Amino acid sequence: MSTADLGLPVDVPSTALFTDRYELTMLQAALRSGAAHRHSVFETFTRRLPAGRRYGVVAGTGRVLDAVENFRFDGPVLDFLSNESVVDDTTLRWLADYRFTGDIWGYPEGEVYFPGSPILRVEGSFAEAVMLETVVLSILNHDSAIAAAASRMAVAAGDRPLMEMGARRTHELAAVAASRAAYVGGFRSSSNLAAGFRYGLPTIGTSAHAFTLVHDSERDAFTAQVESLGSGTTLLVDTYDVATAVRTAVEVAGPELGSVRIDSGDLLLLAHRVRQQLDDLGATRTRIVVTSDLDEYAIASLAAAPVDAYGVGTSLVVGSGHPTCSMVYKLVARGASDAPDAPLVPVAKKALGGKTSVGGRKWAARRLDREGVAEAEVIGSGPVPPDLVDRQLLVPLIRAGEVLAREPLDTARTRHITARAALPLSATQLSQGEPVLPVEML
């Protein structure tokens, strides 16, 4: 199934080189030793949340499915690997036929996670599964960081809509992924047309200060915009003097003016003054949109202000100071031999400095209290306790190489709202704190 099966207009190109060289050199050596064919289990998890964060948000799962499905080595890619002497001819022949034929389980997109949560479990031959490490981590680390920041901003904003405006503050392709992740985390729209085209996100945008400055007067600019876009448009009122601009905006568009946008200055003070001025001018239904380097703390500080919507850019696309989730992709079990029915042997890295891991194929479940509020993340590698069987978090995403779990982005967005609402209330505090749920290892 391609992205077109969900009505999306763009297919994903080959992702085969979205990887590190050592994945291929490991493959070559494993093919020579015979270990390449051992059944293996890899898990993606993080050892800790970013400092002060109380929960993480899984995002990018849908992009991971696309990346796995499109992990193909075509002629030009194989020629590059040959010309650069990355791997030998035997390995090139193996890569030419590469298709992931294993199984992938994971937390569904939009779900929350905690330190040690087995967010993604990849099972197959060592050769097939090890190849996916870099592209999986690249997607999940980026998108989950953005979604976590977006979730915190959505909590701070309450019922007021959030608009993503970060395309000019990050790499052009990362910006599209960021728009998608922000939507999962709670944003309602994006200024990024590529994100709208690819993922069907609602897009927004009207004018910048340059549009006002290119006209002979602010009145001329407002008149041109209203004549073009209608009185329901949003007029930017802080190019010169805000009070003068608000008065001109209402004179030009009338009391049915859709919105005014404030992009600089003391937003708290200006929002109150502009609201009073709009009401005095009869524009009681004109909305106030604020932008200008907002983050979750600035949004929270405006909770009592007469603001109707927020536009967020820089802080969002850098994960509000935490641009990665520090997720890792570790081998946790392997076959005792090359035989297809060989028993799995738990394996784990043992090292100093907090980089240890826990071996064994794991399950995860969330235990609830009597009120239906989550009270613990329970992770184990043995039998699942009867009381947790119906609370398991991992779902099948790919089986025998076939994608099972593509879903509309709105499903992931709704899932996140539901999952966050089931956490203890302290999860929504913006102050520094520990993860809101303890992790119990069985």
Q: What pLDDT does residue 432 have?
A: 87
- Write phi, then psi, for 419 (nearest 5 degrees): -65, -40
Q: What is the 3-state secondary structure (H, E, C) of 181-245?
A: HHHHHCCCEECCHHHHHHHCCCECCCCCHHHHHHCCCHHHHHHHHHHHHCCCCEEECCCCCHHHH
C-beta of residue 66 within 8 angstroms of C-beta of residue 154: no
pLDDT above 90 (res 3): no
Residue identified by tokens 């394996």 is: 347
Q: Is the pLDDT of residue 15 over 70?
A: yes
- Only one residue has tokens 């007067």, namely 217
Please tell me the predicted confidence (pLDDT) of residue 7: 53
| 13-17, 98-102, 241-245, 432-436: least confident range | 13-17
The predicted model gives 334-346 an average pLDDT of: 90
Question: What confidence tens digit (pLDDT) does each residue in 228-256 have?
Answer: 999 999 999 999 999 999 999 999 999 99
Pairing of strands 287-290, 259-262: parallel
Is the pLDDT assigned to residue 14 strictly greater than 90? no
The confidence band for 356, taking pLDDT boundaries of 50, 70 and 90, is confident
Q: How far is the C-alpha of 442 from the C-alpha of 94, rounded, in Å?
A: 39
pLDDT at 5: 54
* Structural class in CATH, domain 147-321: alpha beta
Which is nearest to 414 in space by CA: 229, 186, 117? 186
Taking a C-beta distance cutoff of 8 angstroms, is the pair 242, 265 a contact? Answer: yes
Mean pLDDT of 318-330: 96
Q: What is the CATH number of domain 3-131+326-441?
A: 3.20.140.10
Residue 350: pLDDT above 90?
no
Q: Round to whole Å and give the CA distance between 40 and 26.
A: 14
Tell me what the pLDDT averaged over the chain comes to: 95
Of 255, 249, 248, 247, residue with least CA distance to 235: 249
Beta carbons within 8 Å of 169's beta carbon, 6+ residues apart = 175, 313, 314, 317, 318
The Cα 152–Cα 56 span in angstroms is: 10
What is the percent of the chain where pLDDT is above 90? 92
CA distance 175 to 41: 32
Q: What is the per-residue pLDDT across 38-95, written as a single tens digit (0 to 9) for each?
A: 999 999 999 999 988 999 999 999 999 999 999 999 999 999 999 999 999 999 999 9
Dihedral, 22, 23, 29, 33 alpha carbons, nearest 10: 150
Q: Flag whether pLDDT at 10 surpasses 70.
A: no
For the segment 156-214, what is each residue's pLDDT rounded down to a tens digit?
Answer: 999 999 999 999 999 999 999 999 999 999 999 999 999 999 999 999 999 999 999 99
CB 114 within 8 A of CB 10: no
pLDDT at res. 118: 98
Residue 2 pLDDT greater than 50, yes or no: no
Residues 6+ apart with CB under 8 A from 19: 131, 133, 134, 135
pLDDT at 338: 85
Residue 339's pLDDT is 85
pLDDT digits (tens, 9 = 90+) for 361-415: 999 999 999 999 999 999 999 899 999 999 999 999 999 999 999 999 999 999 9
13, pLDDT greater than 80? no
**Stated pTM of the model:** 0.94
Q: Are 327 and 117 in contact (CB under 8 A)?
A: no
Q: Cα–chain-centroid distance for residue 175?
A: 11
**How high is the pLDDT of residue 254?**
97
CB atoms inside a 10 Å sphere around CB 352: 6
379 and 117 Cβ atoms separated by less than 8 Å? yes
Compute the average pLDDT of residues 99-122: 98
The residue among 18, 108, 98 whose CA lies nearest residue 62 is 108
Cα(310)–Cα(299) distance, rounded to whole angstroms?
A: 8
**Predicted local distance difference test score (pLDDT) of residue 266:** 96
- pLDDT by residue (tens digit) across 130-169? 999 999 999 999 999 999 999 999 999 999 999 999 999 9
Query: Domain-by-domain residue ranges, the chain?
Result: 3-131+326-441, 147-321
Q: Is the pLDDT of residue 430 over 60?
A: yes
**By the 8 A CB rule, do 91 and 34 touch?**
no
Q: In a 3-state reduction of DSSP, which class is residue 358?
A: coil
Cα–Cα distance for residue pair 179/43, rounded to 1 Å: 26
pLDDT the model gives residue 12: 55
Give residue 4's pLDDT: 46
